[in-house]
Structure 1
Amino acid sequence: MKATALVAAIGVGVLATALAKPANLPDGWLQTGPAKTCEGGVLPVSGAPSPKVFSLDCKPGSDGFSTLMQQIGAADYAGKRVRLTAQVSGNQVASWGGLWMRADSGQRVGTAFDNMNDRPLRGSFAWQPAQVVLDIPADATTLSFGFLLTGGGQLQATAFNLEVVPAGTPVTGQGPIQVLPTRPNSMTPP
């Protein structure tokens, strides 16, 4: 799924499913996305970096993606370089998964964005660190972040940390999302 479509889908999904919060998610967390065959929540997991972890479990052949996420005001992060880290593990991740972070500025969605689609988590793997690092625009109003799973499999995450980092820390993001025009340009060659 292209980054532009994924950003739009996450935005629509947040609005459409904000009331569909699984009962065991902590305050501030919600599950969203177009995939209808995915279960999200918190599970106890032996041998994980923490006693309980966030989990997305999608049936084989699931269409679309599901995400567990938070959305916060960006005032403390606007104009700064920000890193989201977590420990992740995967079991038969068929398509791909990853951490993601997006900054929105007013009505402009995705002024900064990274969902790890250029370095996806796939297959089965033990607990490992993952990160996204973005330059958050000075006019950012909201910051959304979490982890997502596209297709079937199970992706688990824990030990999330959101922090401002020095400017010398390399960014991982794809930069601003290209917003497509709502009307076609001239249909006649000049």
Structure 2
Amino acid sequence: MKKVIQSSILLSLTLTLFAFDLPSGWFTAGSKPNSYEMGIEKGAGPEGNNAATIKSNSKKTNGFGTMMQECKPDQYLGKRIRMSCFIRTENVKGWVGLWLRVDQAGSSKPLSFDNMNDRKITGTTSWTKYEIVLDVPSNAFKLAYGVLLDETGQVWFDNVTFEIVSDKVKTTGSINGGTSPVQNEPTNLNFEK
């Protein structure tokens, strides 16, 4: 009994020393969320303010962890939006990405999605602003978004913002769950365009 209590106290102290507090409104997810410590690091932001962080807790991780939120898209329906965020990384062996997914009700296929897989953040970087631009169709049901860390290292992020932008601003990412946009009719069948 004494060893069990001592082990429990040691485990609690270890978790307290290395755990970050998860900010209100955010939750953790990913293919291997338990391989990461996620939460707020006080004073780590670009101007000495708080920043969110994701840090691998082992030397090798096959998978990713994300700190994320979900919200209703009502104010953005039928609009093009830009999500931006300041990100800094240290010793990232895999990659980091800001991500945004526009979901539809009753389907596992997103209406639009970008996780920066085509412009990965790697290694050690200073605070840099990154952006995602996606359309939010009128049948959108939910927005899901966050920052992910794949494999090992640490990422800090701060000042996530959303804004409606003009249709002239080019979108990023993919449409229809990672496939090409669905055309209204057969297009470029002679491959001359």
* Range of TM-score over shorter length: 0.7 to 0.9
Residue 25 of structure 1 pairs with residue 22 of structure 2 = yes
Question: Displacement of 1:78 after TM fit?
Answer: 1.6
Work out the CA distance in 1 between the residues paired with 2:48 and 2:79.
Answer: 29
Equivalent residue number for residue 167 of structure 1: 167
TM-score normalised by L of structure 1? 0.78
Change (3 A) 1:174 1:115: same
Question: Displacement of 1:79 after TM fit?
Answer: 1.2
Name which of 35, 38, 45 aligns with 1:37.
35
Question: Displacement of 1:47 after TM fit?
Answer: 6.3
Structure index of larger Rg:
2
1:24 counterpart letter in structure 2: D
Equivalent residue number for residue 5 of structure 2: none
Matches within 5 A, 1:41-190: 41-46=39-44, 48-58=46-56, 59-108=58-107, 109-178=109-178
Question: Displacement of 1:30 after TM fit?
Answer: 0.6
| SS of corresponding position for 1:76 | helix
2:86 counterpart letter in structure 1: Q
- CA contact under 8 A between 1:38 and 1:62: conserved in structure 2? no
- CA contact under 8 A between 1:103 and 1:112: conserved in structure 2? yes
- CA contact under 8 A between 1:134 and 1:173: conserved in structure 2? yes
| SS of corresponding position for 1:168 | coil
Identity of aligned residues (%): 31
- CA contact under 8 A between 1:50 and 1:159: conserved in structure 2? no
Structure 2: which 5+ runs fail to align?
1-18, 180-193
Change (3 A) 1:50 1:84: farther
Aligned residues: 158
Question: Displacement of 1:27 after TM fit?
Answer: 2.2
Work out the CA distance in 2 between the residues paired with 1:93 and 1:23.
Answer: 19
Structure 1: which 5+ runs fail to align?
1-21, 180-190
Work out the CA distance in 1 between the residues paired with 2:178 and 2:68.
Answer: 23
- CA contact under 8 A between 1:114 and 1:172: conserved in structure 2? yes
1:39 counterpart letter in structure 2: E
- CA contact under 8 A between 2:86 and 2:158: conserved in structure 1? yes
- CA contact under 8 A between 1:56 and 1:66: conserved in structure 2? yes
Question: Displacement of 1:74 after TM fit?
Answer: 1.1
Question: Displacement of 1:105 after TM fit?
Answer: 0.8
| SS of corresponding position for 1:110 | coil
Root-mean-square deviation (CA), in Å?
1.7
- CA contact under 8 A between 1:89 and 1:125: conserved in structure 2? yes
TM-score normalised by L of structure 2? 0.77
My pick for the range that moved more, 168-177 or 86-95, is 168-177
Question: Displacement of 1:49 after TM fit?
Answer: 3.4
Change (3 A) 1:92 1:107: same
